[in-house]
Every structure is written in structure tokens, then in C-alpha cells.
Amino acid sequence: MLYAIGFGLLLGLLSLLFGGLKPSSKGVGPTGVFRLGELPQKLLLDELDDGHVFQIVIFRQSGNFDRALYAHSKELALREIEKLFGRMREDSVRIWTNQTTACDLRRPYGSLNGSREGRKIWGCQIEAIPEVAG
């Protein structure tokens, strides 16, 4: 009986101490597989104000760097992403990370077979960089 009361008090104390330590969901958006047309509504990059340059780093299936693109507005960055996934003949995209300053987009499903293994475009990372007045 005394052990049960002590255990209950210990659990109550621990819940009071660590109950407020929840991971912050502010600045984190939905992840998963979405249609390419839903991308503008799902990405949190849309919440940024003007004054950012968007760096789009495209990488291959092997993980190697392919090329980098820069866009001066959110609309241009989304247009480049739609062109990229359109060239890959993908109508859906997997959002791996979705934050207000960066996101990671990849092929939703991939095949590791064939002669082009490792050379296919696999996805892109988008990062918002504040413009420096100069």
C-alpha cells in the first residue's frame, strides 16, 4: 500500500516536471506523400515574407549533388519544383521535412533497378536565405 502511494507520488512529480517539455510544433508543417498540385498549400515556405532568395539544391538517387538553382520569389521556386518533378514524370511528391525556412522533397516511390541506378534525380532541398541589401 505504501509503495503504491510512493509510486503514485513519484509519477505525479515526474509528470509535473516533464509535462511542459513537449516538442514545439511551431514552424513544422505536414509531411508525407501529396499530389504535386497540393504543394503550394502544404509547404510552410509560403509563410515567409518578401526579402528571401530560395536556393533549390537538386540531388541524385546516389545522394550526390546534381545542380543548384536560385529563385527570387516563392512562386518562382514552386514553378521550378513543378518543372523538376514533371521532368521526372512524377505527379506526386514526398515531403520529408517541412519547416518555414527549409524543406526536403523527394520522389515518393523509387526503383533501384536498371542501368540508370544512382543517376536519376531523386529530389531537392529548398532553403530560404535572407537577402542582404548591398
Domain residue limits, the chain:
27-130
Give the pLDDT confidence score for residue 8 in this predicted structure: 61
Please choose, from the candidates 58, 31, 26, the residue with its C-alpha nearest in 3D space to the C-alpha of residue 42. 31
The predicted model scores a pTM of: 0.71
3-class SS of residue 120: coil
Reported confidence tier of residue 116, pLDDT bands at 50, 70, 90: low
Q: Pick the residue with more confidence: 134 or 58?
A: 58
Measured distance CA(4)–CA(8) in Å, rounded: 6
Give the pLDDT confidence score for residue 133 in this predicted structure: 64
Reported confidence tier of residue 129, pLDDT bands at 50, 70, 90: confident
Q: How many CA atoms lie within 13 A of 85 on its CB side?
A: 25
Residue-wise pLDDT tens digits, 30-51: 888 999 888 888 888 766 667 7
